[in-house]
Each structure stands twice: as C-alpha cells, then as structure tokens.
Amino acid sequence: MKKGFIFDLDGVITDTAKFHYIAWKDLAQSLGITIDEAFNETLKGISRMDSLDKILAYGQRENDFTLAEKEALAQKKNDEYVKLLADLSETDLLPGVHDFLAQAKEHNIPCSIASASKNAPMILEKLGVLDFFGHIVDPETLKKGKPDPEIFIKAAECIGVVPNDAIGFEDAQAGIEGIKAAGMYAVGISATETLAGADLQVTSMTELDIEQLLTI
Ligand code: B16
Ligand code: MG
C-alpha cells in the first residue's frame, strides 16, 4: 500500500518550460548565443545555474564570465521568467492534475514537491494548488541535483513517508532516475518521449487511477 506522492513541478503540474525557453533564448541572444527548442529540452529539470553553464558551454563562452557576472546573468533571466508568469492561473494546470490532487486529499495521502525550481511556491500559489502540498523541498538546501535521489528522499521524509511507500511523478529522464535511485515507484508523464526505467508511463494524469496506484 502506497502512502505518499512526490511531484515534480515543470512538466508534471504545469508547463513552464515554454517560459523558461523564452527567457533563456533572450538572455543567450544578448550574449551572441542562439539556442533552439531541441536545446531547451536538455535544460528540463536542470537548476538555473547549471542551465546557464550549459548555455555558455554551448556558445563556447564558458570561460568569459566571473561567478558574480554569471549570478547577474541568472538573475536577469529569472526576472524575465517571473514577468512571463504574471498571468499564470488555474487554467495553466496540466490535464487531470487538479482532480488527482483532490482525490489524494480525499484519501488522506500526503503530497510534496521535488522541483529544481526556486520559484515553485510562487507558481503553485498562482495555480491555486499550494494547499494540496504538505511540503516543497527548497532546492537551495540540496547538495546535488537530479538524477541524484537527494531531492526525492527529502520530499518523502518531509511528509513522513519512507521511500518504499512513495510514488514519484516526473516528466524528465533525470527525474525518473532520481526516483528509482531513491527506492520509489516511478510514474513517468510524457507524450513525446519514452522515459527509461519508469514503472508506469502515461501521457497525462487523466490516465491515472488513484485506487489502483495506492495498492501497488
Ligand atoms: P528556476 P522541475 C526545473 O523545474 C525546470 O525544468 C528547469 O528548466 C529550471 O531551470 C529549473 O526548474 C530551475 O528553475 O529558475 O525557477 O529556479 O522540472 O524540476 O520542476
Ligand atoms: Mg520536470
């Protein structure tokens, strides 16, 4: 019997990747680097600073900036990203998410968020689902990002569930690897790519049967 659910944010609860893309593309352009949507795919689930490092390396500009300059660039990107989120609302929840969270609440299943995003609390509030979560892991407290299992282990611990009794929901390969390394059941959510190692893959949350999942 499963006792807790751990959710990634971007790509699982809502699709913020398109806004990350616009903000990174503009920043990269200002540095003379052109990125496309395929490159943006490689940034999913990756922290803000690691994303910047990947972009600079892609444009062969990795040795051109001090740490302070890179922090300013990351801040500039985030300022634009946050502006793009201004109109985010409940209508931006991915299909089936609200229903699934409401059912989890009815079953008294605690839920937490394991996202690399420092903007997660603000985004969840705008989406109107913040109250469904007992805990949001602060990515600043982590030693390693996904695919390391640390974030998932913390997310389970904070809602009082042992990893073996938890189910993790992810849209990125690195996330699925982290969930499995944490010793949890992994549900992959993607309509476009096959997530290797997922115990179950669906194209959207509308396909999930909570009663069935709980008995796994
Ligand atoms: P922020 P997830 C990740 O979210 C995004 O997929 C990734 O593109 C982004 O760089 C990262 O959050 C950090 O976000 O700049 O808001 O702190 O998939 O882990 O929910
Ligand atoms: Mg994601």
The ligand placed nearest to the CA atom of residue 79 is 1
Active-site residue, 8 included = yes
Q: Which two tokens stand for residue 20?
A: 């990350």
Q: What's the rounded mean pLDDT across residues 135-164?
A: 96
122-138 pLDDT, tens per residue?
999 999 999 999 999 99
Q: Which domains does the chain have, with CATH numbers?
A: 4-14+90-214 (3.40.50.1000), 17-84 (1.10.150.240)
Show Cβ contacts of residue 39 under 8 Å, excluding neighbours closer than 6 positions: 58
**Ligand 1 pocket, residue 51 CB under 6 Å:** yes
49-72 pLDDT, tens per residue?
999 999 999 999 999 999 999 999
**Ligand 1 pocket, residue 27 CB under 6 Å:** no
Cα(73)–Cα(106) distance, integer angstroms? 44
3-class SS of residue 44: coil
Active-site residue, 199 included = no
> pLDDT value at position 45?
85
ipTM beyond 0.90? yes
Show Cβ contacts of residue 7 under 8 Å, excluding neighbours closer than 6 positions: 13, 111, 112, 113, 114, 115, 133, 168, 169
Binding-site residue positions for Mg(2+): 8, 10, 170-171
92-121 pLDDT, tens per residue?
999 999 999 999 999 999 999 999 999 999
> pLDDT value at position 36?
96
Q: What's the rounded mean pLDDT across residues 66-87?
A: 98
Burial 131-148 (b: 16+ CB within 10 A, else e): ebbbbbbebeebeebbbb
3-class SS of residue 215: coil
> pLDDT value at position 35?
97
Q: Can you tell me which atom of ligand 1 is nearest the CA of 13?
A: 20
Percent of the chain with pLDDT over 90: 95
Whole-model pTM? Answer: 0.94
